[in-house]
Chains A and B, each alone.
Chain A
């Protein structure tokens, strides 16, 4: 290992954890000790990541309060060093961390909210596709319906939760005076995070529509998907739900399936 490698390895170790070894590489300052100088970098790096998490999970931060959130985030940072030059990739496993974080055990809706926030972030920066145009749609060959694949727009993310995530998110993002209380007992639902042009949006959908979206995420023919959905929802009118997909601009295309 080169001298440079050794120095960097020790410095990186000092930044994310143990500072004592690195001090021997550093010229003590007139005012600050080597450890204090290292501390500035430690604070800058960890603080930067804590701040990034706060930016990416703003509603979670709002609900938990800055003190709690930042302390929890710095625990995450300590065991999850950044692995990318871009902070936009940092925090993917934060919802999972929250799920296992003992002090959150009595607030079980928090990991679900955090997952929703993460996909909001992904959707915000994703390349997006447009909904199918009426012209293209009318040209789709009706008699080959079962050999077509129905393609959802991008990005589109699905969440199912036992908790009212949209209300919780709104509460987390607003100042206290703006939102009335959220009743967790009111139950959860099925949520879709998507883009309308450049605007990232989320809405709550009925369970049957959600089930149809889940099926459409699979690389199956439209015919197979319709059959599977019907076997699970024998009493419902499929047409109503497929039409709803068009109304919401969630279908990008129909393509011939090759098999």
Chain B
């Protein structure tokens, strides 16, 4: 058997070994239940399919943005060494 073949075989063997060990220690079974997950509606998710017009007026508000707008605020003050020259 070539060296490369042996290496591949041994890499796979190590995976199987971990899998077997995990099976015996039940590591695969103990995933926390997803029902407990909180706040799934928050980050990165939008209820897009609604029949509202709630955002009207938003564009007008953003129209006069030119001057003030290019100074980001938010939590950026907590970013140290943030500006890269």
8 new A-B contacts, CB < 8 A, other than A145-B5, A240-B14, are: A39-B60, A47-B55, A47-B59, A142-B12, A145-B8, A172-B74, A238-B7, A243-B18
**Bound state CA distance, A197 and B35, in angstroms?**
11
Task: Say yes or no: A65 contacts B73, CB within 8 Å.
Answer: yes
Task: Say yes or no: A120 contacts B44, CB within 8 Å.
Answer: yes
Task: Say yes or no: A246 contacts B72, CB within 8 Å.
Answer: no
Task: Say yes or no: A46 contacts B59, CB within 8 Å.
Answer: yes
| Distance from A26 Cβ to chain B, minimum over Cβ atoms (Å) | 16
Task: Say yes or no: B68 contacts A242, CB within 8 Å.
Answer: no
The one of B48, B59, B71 in contact with A88, judged by C-beta atoms closer than 8 angstroms, is B48
Task: Say yes or no: B19 contacts A246, CB within 8 Å.
Answer: yes
Interface residues, chain A, with chain B CB atoms under 8 Å away: 39-48, 50-52, 55-56, 58-59, 61-72, 74, 86-88, 103-104, 106-109, 117, 120-121, 124, 131-135, 137-138, 140, 142-143, 145-146, 148, 168, 171-174, 176, 179-185, 196-200, 222-223, 226-227, 230, 238-240, 242-243, 245-247, 249, 251, 254
Which residues of the partner chain B approach A143 to less than 8 Å between Cβ atoms? 9
Task: Say yes or no: B58 contacts A107, CB within 8 Å.
Answer: no
Task: Say yes or no: A182 contacts B79, CB within 8 Å.
Answer: yes
Interface residues on B, range: 35 or more
| Distance from A119 Cβ to chain B, minimum over Cβ atoms (Å) | 10
Which residues of the partner chain B approach A64 to less than 8 Å between Cβ atoms? 72-74, 76
Task: Say yes or no: A68 contacts B44, CB within 8 Å.
Answer: no
Task: Say yes or no: B16 contacts A197, CB within 8 Å.
Answer: no
Which residues of the partner chain B approach A63 to less than 8 Å between Cβ atoms? 72, 74-76, 79
**Bound state CA distance, A202 and B36, in angstroms?**
18
A124-B45 contact given A65-B74, A70-B62, A197-B34, CB 8 Å threshold? yes
A55-B46 contact given A62-B74, A74-B62, CB 8 Å threshold? yes
**Bound state CA distance, A204 and B70, in angstroms?**
32
Q: Kindly identify, within residues 1 to 30 of chain B, every residue whose CB is under 8 Å from any CB belonging to chain A.
A: 4-5, 7-20, 22-23, 28
Selected A-B contacts with CB under 8 Å, 25 pairs: A39-B60, A40-B56, A43-B59, A47-B54, A47-B57, A47-B59, A48-B55, A50-B55, A51-B58, A58-B44, A63-B72, A67-B65, A86-B48, A124-B45, A142-B9, A142-B13, A179-B75, A182-B79, A198-B37, A222-B11, A226-B4, A242-B11, A243-B14, A246-B19, A254-B12
Which residues of the partner chain B approach A109 to less than 8 Å between Cβ atoms? 82
**Bound state CA distance, A209 and B28, in angstroms?**
21
A107-B83 contact given A58-B44, A242-B12, CB 8 Å threshold? yes
Task: Say yes or no: B15 contacts A243, CB within 8 Å.
Answer: yes
The one of B43, B58, B62, B83 in contact with A59, judged by C-beta atoms closer than 8 angstroms, is B43
Task: Say yes or no: B28 contacts A134, CB within 8 Å.
Answer: yes
**Bound state CA distance, A3 and B58, in angstroms?**
31
Which residues of the partner chain A approach B70 to less than 8 Å between Cβ atoms? 68, 103
**Bound state CA distance, A138 and B65, in angstroms?**
62
